[in-house]
Amino acid sequence: MDIREIFVIFVVTKQTNETKIFPMISKDKVTEIFCIIDDFCKEYDAEIEKNSLKAPDGRKHRHRKGLMSDAEVMSILVYFHFNTFRNFKHYYLFFVKTHLADLFPNQLSYNRFIELESRVAVEMMLFIQLFCFGRCTGISFIDSTCVPVCHNKRIKRNKVFKGYAEIGKSTMGWYFGFKLHLICNERGEILNFMLTKANVDDRNSEVFNRLSDNVFGKLFADKGYISQGLFERLFNDGIELVTGLKCNMKNKLMPLYDKILLRKRSVIETINDELKNVAQLVHSRHRSVFNFAMNVLSVLAAYSFYEKKPSINIDYCIEHVDGQLTVIQ
């Protein structure tokens, strides 16, 4: 890769006037992301045009295209979560409008771009469902992580998420916001997700009914998912829930293979850490519920384009073929 193709951002601190260099992905990667999203948007628009209903009066209505296409808006949103910027406004004003002017020539103002975020919500959700999710291999991990929307001192003053977010408790203490439930395979690919209020239990039946779609084999979880009713319900669906034992529970025999994989839950823990600390999933600058939802969706879409994902080296996988589990070397 040519060094001239790498973007570099210089940040000068106020205290020491030091110049810090943050390397970013190349223009080739930006073009690759845009081409994938643009191909999807073209197919989506064709299906909408073919299946849309005509006006009852029979008259033609104006359907003028915007200055920026939906693919360009989605690409800019996804590209923000590649571990360089922590403020979307600074990213758009000082980087996109300057360094990416040749790739996105028809740029809008910052306020207008923020208004267009909610218009691509349906396209973003379908794109994640069709292109960003991985494939179940028979070995899956499940976990949840907290997504606070403000500091605890400002819970009563928060008006943006009033009626949407709730107060919940995690291993780090109480917080006000939401809870992101994730399920992934041993390759580090996200299989499904669900965003709930902070006070929703991890063992909620509605959550598992949504997450367990197209999942089979063994599902490894922490001790917070221990439930006899949940185990029996998943077992009837062809999923074996494997968890650790609490100190007040009777000891039981567990295969050595399950014990080893149960210790590899660091895969999904690392995914949660990357979503928060690298992809900027959590911050307290949301001024709209819709923009918060778009931030969550763009984070998940950006993670699928990461070249390095946490994974486990396993020399075989379990495929679901004709209703039977088959081991493939």
pLDDT digits (tens, 9 = 90+) for 132-172: 999 998 999 999 999 999 999 999 999 999 999 999 998 88
Residues 80 and 197 in one domain: no
Structure tokens at 66: 């915007």
Nearest of 11, 167, 29, 159 to residue 100 by alpha carbon: 29
CA 303 to chain CA centroid, nearest Å: 6
Looking at the DSSP bridge assignments, the partners of residue 170 are: 173
- Contact between 318 and 326 (Cβ < 8 Å): yes
Residues 7 and 118 in one domain: yes
Of 74, 102, 129, the residue that ends a domain is: 129
Residues 124 and 144 in one domain: no
- Contact between 70 and 123 (Cβ < 8 Å): yes
* CA–CA distances in Å: residue 305 to residues 10, 36, 188, 309: 25, 11, 12, 10
Structure tokens at 193: 């997700």
Nearest of 208, 250, 210 to residue 230 by alpha carbon: 208
Residues 103 and 141 in one domain: no
Nearest of 60, 59, 80, 76 to residue 68 by alpha carbon: 76
Of 74, 100, 129, the residue that ends a domain is: 129
The residue length of the chain stands at 329
pLDDT at residue 4 is higher than 80: no
Residues 188 and 238 in one domain: yes
- Which of residues 142 and 319 earns the better pLDDT score? 142
Residues 149 and 282 in one domain: yes
Task: Check residue 326 and give its pLDDT.
Answer: 53
With residues binned 3-state (H G I as helix, E B as strand, rest as coil), the percentages for the chain, rounded to 5, are 40, 20, 40
pLDDT at residue 225 is higher than 50: yes
CA 283 to chain CA centroid, nearest Å: 15
Q: Which of 7-16, 204-213, 226-235, 303-312 has the lowest mean pLDDT?
A: 7-16
- Answer yes or no: is 327 within a domain: no
pLDDT (tens digit per residue) in 196-206:
999 999 999 88
**Residues of the chain above pLDDT 70, percent:** 85
Q: Which of 17-26, 81-90, 298-307 has the lowest mean pLDDT?
A: 17-26
Residues 140 and 279 in one domain: yes
Residues 43 and 20 in one domain: yes
Q: How many helices (H) and strands (E) does the chain have?
A: 11, 10
* pTM of the predicted model as reported, rounded to 2 decimal places: 0.83
Q: pLDDT band at 295, cuts 50/70/90?
A: very high
Q: Which residue pairs from 277-284 have beta carbons closer than 8 angstroms and sit at least 24 positions apart in sequence?
A: 278/81, 278/83, 279/81, 279/82, 279/83, 279/303, 280/80, 280/81, 280/85, 280/86, 281/147, 281/180, 282/147, 282/148, 283/86, 284/148, 284/149, 284/150, 284/151
**Residues of the chain above pLDDT 90, percent:** 45
Of 74, 104, 129, the residue that ends a domain is: 129
Task: Check residue 322 and give its pLDDT.
Answer: 57
Task: Check residue 60 and give its pLDDT.
Answer: 66
Residues 279 and 163 in one domain: yes
pLDDT at residue 260 is higher than 60: yes
Q: pLDDT band at 250, cuts 50/70/90?
A: confident
- Which of residues 58 and 214 earns the better pLDDT score? 214
Look up the CATH number of the domain holding residue 243. Answer: 3.30.420
- Answer yes or no: is 254 within a domain: yes
- Answer yes or no: is 231 within a domain: yes
- Which range of residues forms the domain containing residue 180? 136-286
